[in-house]
Structure 1
């Protein structure tokens, strides 16, 4: 019978720290290591400085890291799509004959796509 009861339970061992006359449990949230890139970090800074309520809500619910990772991933995907669309509508100069022109053109497209994403996704 005892084995059946234990089947659905999780074995938890707690450690305690003595503070004064009290034993306080050492509790911490386990966070998964998630890489947050440039756009996720920009979103975090924006939320922290301009949307404090939303930042606090996401942080307290434990969904901040998930939100930032999602924003970062979506931003990267959308930049790739915008770049492809812009290259299709107005092709870049030949890289072999004009490498500096090609680099300047591609940087210009990257900045245009990034500006759109920052306004629509990160800073909204």
Structure 2
């Protein structure tokens, strides 16, 4: 049986004040208590890279939640594995760099 789910996307300005909006936007769409913090850390990592616009995507399928923050250019290792990365890895089941290396993603609700 296929799993059903939803996907939401929103572009946020690459400004620190938007981090609160990212957390609220995430909390209104998914009920996992760690999702807003993970979304925040992904957003802040791309914010640190200087991205003028950061597209956030939330996708659900069954019990899984995938959070993606995507910028305009390739991320350096500093932004894809900085201090916030330890928080993300500690709270989610899987995480990584997008295939185009312009974003970061994290997944909740699946076994490692």
**Aligning the two structures, in what range does the TM-score lie when normalised by the shorter sequence?**
under 0.3
* Structure with a larger share of its residues in helix: 1
Higher Rg of the two aligned structures? 1
Scaled by the length of structure 2, the TM-score of the pair is: 0.27
Which has the higher relative contact order, 1 or 2, with Cα contacts under 8 A spaced 6 or more apart? 2
